[in-house]
Amino acid sequence: MADITDIKSIVYTEKTLGLQEDGVIVVQTTPRMTKTGLKEVFREYFGVIPTKVNSLRQSGKTKRFRGVAGKQADYKKFYVKLPEGAQIESLAV
């Protein structure tokens, strides 16, 4: 069962701010989150039912720190299209 704690962050970059003007919010989540789970979270916590959800899986980067190899965490990124005129105040910049 998906929960609000599976959402790691809202992505705010130049590209995503341009998408927000068109009603698309970019969300970074844990790898176990699904499209239907994300729709449930948006309906339950924000009171908005997304019209479309696209997802992509990102593998964590391999980094070296003081000669020791490590790996950043994997995550999923979702592009959530909100209905026309719908806006979430707590997520707006």
What residue ranges define each of the domains in the chain, with the CATH number in brackets? 4-86 (3.30.70.330)
* Cα–Cα dist 71/38, whole Å: 26
- Alpha-carbon separation of residue 74 from 1, 36, 43, 58 (angstroms): 19, 20, 25, 6
pTM more than 0.75: yes
Q: What averages of pLDDT result for each successive group of 10 residues across the chain (93 residues)?
A: 86 92 92 93 90 95 93 95 80 62
| Residue carrying structure tokens 């909100």 | 82
What is the per-residue pLDDT for 93?
59
Q: Look at residue 90 in the predicted model and tell me its pLDDT.
A: 67
From first CA to last CA, the distance across the chain in angstroms is 29
Helices (H), the chain: 14-21, 35-41
